[in-house]
Amino acid sequence: MNKNILTKITIHLLLLLFVVVWVLPTFGLFVSSFRDKDLLATSGWWTTFKTNEVNEIYRTKTFEDQIEENGKFFIKGNLLDKNSRKKIISYGISSKEMNKYKVNEKAILKNKTQIEISENGEYQWKSEVPFKHKRGKRIFITALSPPKFTLENYKEVLFKEGVGQAFLNTLTVAIPSTIIPLIICSFFAYALSWMKFRGRDTLFALIVASLVVPLQMCLIPLLSIYNDVGALFNIGAKSYPGVWMAHTGFGLASTTFLLRNFIKSLPSEMIEAARVDGATHYDIFLRIIIPLSVPAFASVFILQFLWVWNDLLVGLIFLDQVPSEIILTAKLRELLGSRGENWEILTTGAFVSMTVPLFIFFALQRYFIRGLVAGSVKG
Amino acid sequence: MTTTSFFLYVFLGIVVCFSYFHLSNLALDFFSQKNSNNFLKKSVLRPYIFIAPAVIILVIFILYPVVETLRLSFFNKTGFEFVGIKNYIWAAKDPEFKRAILNNLGWLLVVPTLSAFFGLVIAYLADRLWWGTIAKSIIFMPMAISFVGAGVIWKFVYDYRGPGDDQIGFLNAVVVSLGFEPQAWMTIPIWNNLFLMAIMIWIQTGLAMVIFSAALRGIPKEMIEAARIDGASEFKIFTSIIIPYLEKTILVIWTIITILVLKIFDIILAMTNGQWNTEVLANLMYDWMFRGGGDSGRGSLMAIVIMIGVIPIMIWNIRRHKEDEKS
Amino acid sequence: MQKLFLSKGGKMKFFKIILMVAIANLFALSNAISGNYKGPDLSGEKVVISGPWLAPQDEQFRKVIKAFTDATGATVEYGGSDSFEQQIIIDVKAGSPPNLAIFPQPGLAANVAALGGLTPLGNDMKNWVLKNYAAGQSWVDLGTYPDKNGKKDFFGFFYRVNVKSLVWYSPDNFSDNGYTVPKTMEELISLTEKMASDGNTPWCIGLGSGDATGWPATDWMEDIMLRTHKPAVYDQWVTNEMPFNDKRVIEAMDFFGSFAKNDKYVSGGSKAVATTDFRDSPKGLFSSPPKCMMHRQASFIPAFFPEGVKAGQDYDFFYFPSYSTKDLGNPVLGGGTLFAITKDSKATREFLNYLGHPQSNEIWMAIDGSGFLNPNKLIDLSKHSSDTFRGLNQILLNATTFRFDGSDLMPGAIGAGSFWTGMVDYTSGKSAKEVADKIQASWDAIK
C-alpha cells in the first residue's frame, strides 16, 4: 500500500516536471510581451513581479532654463517621467562614481555648485554665478522600479511594425490554401477509394511517395514555371493565387492520404446500394460522402491550416516581401534580423503570430489529434 | 490588402475551384443523358473528372521539380552547362558538406529517439492521472507554433549576456545562480547541436505523445491487470508489455519524425544559420542555391542527397500500405 | 511569333530612347531650377523596389518615396528583407524580380548582372554621375559590370553611401575618465591599454547580423589592411592577386584579434563578439554604467543608437587613425548601396532620376540621426540634421584616397560568404592561419 502511494506521487511529480519544462519557454515569452521594454532588456522575465533596481542616465536642463532668485542661480526640473513610479535611491554625476550620493544628499561639484535630488526625481542645481553650460549635466541614478505591465508593446507591434497587416495577409494566404486542397483532394480521395480506373494503384503509390519529398527542392523549378505562366498573361509571378496553388500542391499528398484513409473506411454496402439505385458517383459524393466525412474534413482542415499558417519558406519565395504581401512568419524573421535584441518587439510579434494557431488548437484539439492519429496509426 | 479585397480574394478562389467540379459533373450528366454512346458513358469518364485537378497539380508541383532538380545537379552553377558528376566529386571533398551530413546523422539519431521516448513516457503517465488531459494539452501546444516562433522562444531561453551583467536568458540565469559562468550556448561546438535539437524535440514530443496515447488505449486492460496481480512492477509492465505491444506505433512515429528531421531547416536558419559547426543539409542547400550569386548545381545536389536519404523510408511506406490494403 | 515579338521590342526600344532623352532634358532642367522635385505625371504606374533596408531605414526611405509619389502620382512599394542577398537571386533566376533592386554590395550586383538580370542605365545617367558625384569616375567604375555575354556596361547608381573608418564614443565618458581622442594608431593602442587598466572596457564589438553575421569584422580587416599596407596591396588582396592566406592578411587578422579576442578589451568578453548583434553593440556606449568606451563602425550606425541620444551631445566620432610611423596618408574606407534596374519601366527610370535630385537626398539627410551621406555635389549640406553629419559628408566630398569596402568587391561567395563566416570562426576561437586558409580554399573553389 505504501509503495503504491509512493509510485503515485512519483508519477504526479514526473509529469509535473515534464509540463513545467514544456510550458516554461512559452510562458516566459508570454509574460515578457507585457513587460516594459527597458526592464525587458535588463532583467529576466522571472523578476517581473519583483521590484527591480535599475541604473539610468538623465540630463539636466541647460543654462537657458536657469532662474535667478535672491542673487543665486537655479536650474530646476524632474528627471523622471510624469507617470513614472520609480524611486531614486542614489545618484552620481560621473560614470566613475555612479552611486556617490544618497538620495536627498547634496552633491558639491568642482565648480562649487550644488545639486540635490529627491526620491521622485525632482532636482535643483544651485550656483552663485550664472550657469553657462550648453550641454546638460549627466546624472546617473539608481532607482527602484516597481513591476509594470503595459499593452504598449502590442500597440507598437500591431500598428507601427506592420504585424497587423501581415496578420491579414496570412489569413488571405491561409484560408483558400486550406479550402482549395480540401475540395480537390476529397474528390481525388473518393476516386482513389471507390472508383475504378486505370492506374489507380500506381497513383496511390505516387501519393505515398510524395509524402516525403523535401519541399525545398521544388521551389526554384516551380517559380520558373510561375514566371512563364505569369508572362503569358502579363501578370507578376508572385501573387496570392500563386501561393494558394503552391500550398495546394505541397499539401496535396498528405491531405489526400488522410481523406482516403477515412473515405475508404466507410461501409461499402452503403455506396453499392446507392449505385444500384442509379445514383451517379457525383450524387453519392455530395449526398453520402460529404455529410459523413465532416469530422475528417475538420481534422484535415486544421492540419493544413496550421501548416500553412506556420509556413515560412513558401511565403518567402512565392510572395513579394512588401508590406501588402508579407506573411507573419516572414515578418517575424525580418524583425528577428532588424530588431536584433529588441525583445519587446520580438516577443510580442511572436505571440501575435501564435494567437490563431493556439486558438484553433485549444478550440478544436479533438479534431486535430484525430487527424494526426488517423494519418499514422490507421494507415 | 484591405478587408474588402481580402474577402473578394478568398471568395473568388474558392468559387472557381468548386465550380469546376460542379459544372464539369453537370456537363457530364447532361451529355451522357443526351448521348448514350459508349465512349461518353459516364462511369468511364467521371473518375478522370474527379482526379484531373489533383493529378495535374501533383505533376507540376512534385514530379516535375524532382526531375528538374536531378537534371540541375549535373549542370554548372548557372544551370546552362553540363558538367557530369563534377558537383558530386566536389561534394565528396568539401568539408562543410561532410559536416552537414554528420550533423544530419546526429539529428536523425537523437531527435526521433528522444521525441518518441518522451512522448511514450508522458502518454503513459498522463493516461493514469486525473489532470492528464490538461498536461497533454500543454505538452502538445508547441505543435501549433511555427518554427520561426519557436526560434524566437528559444533564442530568448538561450540568450547570453557577459558575466557580471544580469542574464535575461533563462538557461544562463539558472547556470549563474548555480555559481557557474554564463555560456554563449549557440557557439559551443557539438553541444550547440544538442541545444538546437532540444527545440525540435520540444515540438515533436507532442506529436508522439498523442499517437501513443491513442495506441495505448488499444492495449487490453486485462493483460496489464494480470501482470499487476502477478506482482510485476510498473517499470516491468512498461518495458515488457507495453513497449512490445506498441512496436508498430513506435516505428510509425519514428519515420514521421525522421522525415521531418531530414528536412530540418527553419530552426537552423533562425538560430545559427549553420555557424559554429551546426550546418545541416537543407540549410547548406539554401545557402548554395541563393547566397553569393547562387549555384543551382551544388544546391540541387544537396536536395538530391536529402531525397536519397528519404527513399528507403518512402519504399518502406509504400510496402506497408500495400500490406495494409491486402489485410 | 518570335519575330513579331522582336520587332515589337525594337519599336519599344526606339520609344524608350526618345523618352529617355526627354526625361534627361527635363531632369537637367529641374536641376537648373533648384528646389523641389517636379516629375512627369505617372499616375497608374507602379514601381516595386526591394532591398536590404529594414527598420528604421525603411521608414526613412518611405519618406523619400513619398515626395516622389506626391509629385508624379505613381505608386511605389518598397519591401525590405533581411535575406535580400538570397531573395534577389531567387527572384532574378525565376524571372520575377522587382523593378529596382537596392544592392548593399557591388559584388552581388555584378553577380546578378552576370546572370543577365540587370538593365543598363545608359550613357546619360553615366555622364550625369561623372559630372555630379565627387570622385565620379570611381562611382561609375563601381557600378560597371560585365553582363551575361561578358560585355561591360553601367548598371549601378549609388545612393546613400557611408564612411567606415570611424570610431564612435561618448564625450562625457571620455571627460569623466580624462581620456583624449587619439590622433594616431599608436595612441589608439595605448589608449585601449589604459582603459583596460583603469577597469573600463575599451571596445564594443558585435558581429551578429542575421544571415550576414560576420560582416562588421570584415570592415575592421579592411581598415587595418589600409593602415598597414599600401593601397595597391589592398587592391591585390581584394582581387585575390595576393592570396587570402598571405602573411600580411594573417597579420591584419591577428591585429583585429588583439582587440576582439581579448576578454579585457571587449564588452561581454570575446565570447560575446560573434553573438552580439551589430545593431545592439553600440548601445553599450550609452548604458549606465557604460559597457564600453569606443565603437568602430560606419557612418550609418547612429540610426541604431538608443532613442533620444543626440549627435555632438551624447555621442561623437573620431577618424580611425593611421600609424604615425607608416607613411600611408589618411585613407578613407567607405561603402554604399546602389540601385539597379531589374525590370525596366518608365516610372522606374524616373524614380532613378529622382534619386539624383537633391531633394531625395535632403529629405533623408534632414532626419535626425539617420546618417545619410551621399557624394552628390548638388546637395545642400546645411540640410544635415547636425554638425556631426555635415562633417562626415565633407570627408566624403573631399575624399581623394578613397577605397571601397573590400568584401563588397570580392565575389559574393567570398565577400558575402566565406569571409563573413570565417571571421565568425576566428572570433569564436580558430586561428588566423586556419581561417585564412579556409577562405582562400573557398576562393579557389569558385575560380
Where do the structural domains in chain C lie, given as residue ranges? 2-155+334-394, 166-331+405-446
Window 3-62 of A: residues touching C by CB (8 A cutoff) are: 55-57, 59
Q: Are C212 and A178 a contacting pair, CB within 8 Å? A: no
Residue A30 half-sphere exposure toward CB, CA atoms < 13 A: 8
In chain C, residues with a C-beta closer than 8 Å to the C-beta of A55 are 287-289
Among A39, A312, A47, CA closest to A150: A39
pLDDT bin (cut points 50, 70, 90) of residue C2 is very low
At position C19, the amino acid (one-letter code) is L
- Is pLDDT at A61 greater than 70 in this prediction? yes
- Look up cell 559536416; give the residue: B99
Q: What is the mean predicted confidence (pLDDT) over B31-56?
A: 71
Determine the distance from the C-alpha atom of residue A379 to the mean position of all C-alpha atoms in its chain, rounded to a whole number.
33
Cell of C418: 566565406
DSSP strand E in chain A: where? 52-59, 67-69, 72-78, 87-92, 101-102, 106-108, 114-117, 122-127, 138-145
Q: Which of C60, C81, C177 to mutate to test the interface with A (most CBs of A within 10 A)?
A: C81
What is the spatial distance between Cα B184 and Cα B65, in angstroms, rounded to a whole number? 40
CB neighbours of residue A298 within 10 Å? 16
pLDDT digit string, tens, across residues C292-323 = 999 999 888 887 888 888 888 899 998 898 88
Please check the confidence at residue C26 and state whether its pLDDT lies above 60.
Answer: no
Cell of A227: 514566371
Question: How do the domains of chain B map onto residue ranges?
Answer: 3-72, 86-326
Give every CB contact of residue C394 below 8 A, 6+ residues apart in sequence: C381
pLDDT of residue A276: 84
Task: Measure CB to CB from residue A237 to each of C95, C286, C290 and give the nearest one.
Answer: C95
Q: Are C274 and B292 a contacting pair at CB < 8 A? A: no
Which residues in A lie closer than 8 A to residue C83 (C-beta atoms)? Answer: 316, 333, 337
Question: For B205-214, what is the mean pLDDT?
Answer: 88
Pairing outcome for strands A122-127 and A138-145: unpaired
CA distance A173 to A171: 5
A99/C contact by beta carbon, under 8 A: no
Residue C248 has what pLDDT? 94
Partners of residue B70 in chain A, C-beta under 8 Å: none
Q: How far apart are CA A166 and CA A332, in angstroms?
A: 10
Q: B186 — contact with chain C (CB < 8 Å)?
A: yes
- C256 membership: H or E segment, kind and range: helix C247-260
Average pLDDT, integer, range B121-147: 87
Cell of C132: 555630379
In sequence order, what DSSP letters do the residues of B117-158 get, joined into one string?
HHHHHHHHHHTTSTTHHHHHHHHHGGGGS-HHHHHHHHHHHH
Chains with 3+ CB–CB pairs under 8 A to C are A, B
Neighbours of A294 (CB within 10 A): 10
3-state secondary structure of C117: coil
Strands C166-169 and C316-319: antiparallel
Within an 8 Å CB–CB cutoff, is residue B27 touching chain A?
no
Residue environment code for A8-34, b if the CB has 16+ CB neighbours within 10 A, otherwise e: eeebeeebeebbeebbebbebbbbbbb
What angle (nearest 5°) sits at the alpha carbon of residue B283, between those of residues B74 and C104?
95
Q: Is C411 an interface residue toward B (CB < 8 Å)? A: yes
Chain A to chain C Cβ contacts (< 8 Å): 100
Instruction: Give the model's pLDDT for residue C32.
Output: 40
Which residue, among A101, A97, A103, has the nearest Cα to A117 in the 3D structure? A103
Contact B165 C213 (CB under 8 A): no
Question: How many Cα atoms occupy the beta-carbon half-sphere of B225 within 13 Å?
Answer: 3
Domain with residues A154-378, CATH architecture:
Orthogonal Bundle (1.10)
| pLDDT at position C5 | 33
Please state, in angstroms and rounded to a whole number, the distance separating the CA atoms of residues C397 and C374. 8
How confident is the model at residue C13, as a pLDDT? Answer: 42
The β-bridge relationship of strands A87-92 and A101-102 is antiparallel
Q: Which secondary structure element, helix H or strand E, spans residue C154, and what is its range?
A: strand C152-154
**Whether the predicted model's global pTM rises above the 0.95 cut:** no
At B229 the three-state DSSP class reads helix
pLDDT value at position B84?
Answer: 86
CB C337 within 8 A of CB C123: no
For the B86-326 domain, the top CATH level (class) is mainly alpha
| Contacts B161 to C, Cβ<8 Å | 268, 272
Q: What is the DSSP letter of C345?
A: -
Contact B286 C86 (CB under 8 A): yes
| A67-89 average pLDDT score | 86
Per-residue pLDDT at A26 exceeds 80: yes
pLDDT at C82 over 80: no
Confidence of residue B102 (pLDDT cuts 50, 70, 90): very high
CB A66 within 8 A of CB A75: yes
User: From the candidates B166, B168, B291, which should be mutated to test the interface with C, based on the most C CB atoms within 10 A?
Assistant: B291
Q: Which residue has the higher pLDDT, C162 or C34?
A: C162
Q: Do A223 and C94 touch (CB under 8 A)?
A: yes
User: Residue B286: what pLDDT?
Assistant: 81
Number of other CB atoms surrounding residue C61 within 10 Å: 24
| Dihedral (CA of A9, A11, A14, A17) sign | negative
Domain map of chain A by residue range? 52-146, 154-378
Mean pLDDT of chain A: 83
Q: Is the pLDDT of residue C193 over 90?
A: yes
Q: % helix / strand / coil in chain A, to the nearest 5? A: 60, 15, 25
Of the candidates C138, C140, C154, C216, the one whose C-alpha atom is nearest the C-alpha of residue C401 is C138
CB contact (8 A) between residue A321 and residue C93: no
Calpha distance C412→B231 (Å, rounded)? 69
d(CA A332, CA C418): 27
**Which of A210-219, A225-234, B35-44 is predicted most confidently?**
A210-219
The per-residue pLDDT of chain B, averaged, comes to 84
**Cα gap C282→C267, rounded to integer Å:** 10
Residue A336 grid cell: 528577428
Instruction: Tell whether A94 lies on the interface with C, counting CB pairs under 8 A.
Output: yes
For residue A107, which phi and psi values (nearest 5 degrees)?
-100, 125
Q: Is A140 on the interface with C (CB under 8 A)?
A: yes
In order of A217, A222, A307, B54, the CA distances from A250 in angstroms are 12, 11, 10, 11
Closest chain A residue to C199, measured at CA:
A96
Distance, in Å, from the CA atom of B248 to the CA atom of B307, rounded to the nearest integer, reads 24
Q: Does B149 touch chain C (CB under 8 A)?
A: no
Look at residue C249 in the predicted model and tell me its pLDDT.
95
Looking at per-residue pLDDT, the higher value among B117 and B294 belongs to B117
Nearest to C421 among B90, B162, B275 (CB): B275
- Residue C295: what residue type? H
Residue A159 pLDDT greater than 60, yes or no: yes
Kindly report, residue by residue over A123-156, the tens digit of the pLDDT: 888 888 888 888 888 889 898 888 878 888 888 8
How is chain C split among helix, strand and coil, in percent rounded to 5? Answer: 50, 15, 35
Q: Is B48 on the interface with A (CB under 8 A)?
A: yes
Flag whether residue A316 sits within 8 Å of chain C, measured between CB atoms: yes
Among the ranges given (B22-31, B65-74, C117-126), the one the predictor scored with the smallest mean pLDDT = B22-31
Residue from the list A206, A216, A312 with its beta carbon closest to the beta carbon of B148:
A312
Please give the average per-residue pLDDT across C204-209, as a whole number: 90
Q: What is the mean pLDDT of residues C270-275?
A: 87
**Residue type present at position A200:** R
Nearest CB among B1, B170, B285 relative to A216 is that of B285
Task: Please indicate whether, in this complex, the C-beta atoms of A191 and B57 are within 8 angstroms of each other.
Answer: no
Chain C residues within 8 A of A169 when measuring between CB atoms? none
Q: Which CATH superfamily is domain C2-155+334-394 in?
A: Periplasmic binding protein-like II (3.40.190.10)
Over residues C60-84, the mean pLDDT reads 89
Tell me the residue type at B18: F
- Among B141, B100, B140, CA closest to B285: B100
**Of C121, C63, C127, C106, nearest in space to C359 by CA:** C63
What average pLDDT does the segment B214-231 reach? 84
List the CATH code of the domain at C166-331+405-446: 3.40.190.10
Which H or E element spans position B313?
helix B296-326
> Residue C101, Cβ neighbours under 10 Å: how many?
28
* Residue C142 backbone dihedrals phi, psi, to 5 degrees: -70, -20
Would you state the cell numbers that stand for residue B124, as one nine-digit string? Answer: 503513459
Average pLDDT over residues B297-313: 86
Contact C288/A at CB under 8 A: yes
| One-letter amino acid for residue A18 of the chain | F
Residue C290: closest C-alpha in chain A: A95
Cα–Cα distance for residue pair C413/C114, rounded to 1 Å = 14
Contact C266, C205 (CB under 8 A): yes
The crossing angle, in degrees rounded to 10, of helices A328-338 and A343-363 is 160
Task: Say if the Cβ atoms of A95 and C172 lie within 8 Å.
Answer: yes
Please provide residue B265's backbone torsions phi and psi, each rounded to the nearest 5 degrees.
-145, -55
Kindly tell me if the per-residue pLDDT of A376 is higher than 80.
no
Cα-based distances in Å from A218 to A215, B70, B294:
6, 11, 16
Chain A residues closer than 8 Å to B117 by CB: none
Q: What are phi and psi of C229, to 5 degrees?
A: -140, 165
Cβ atoms of B125 and B238 closer than 8 Å:
no
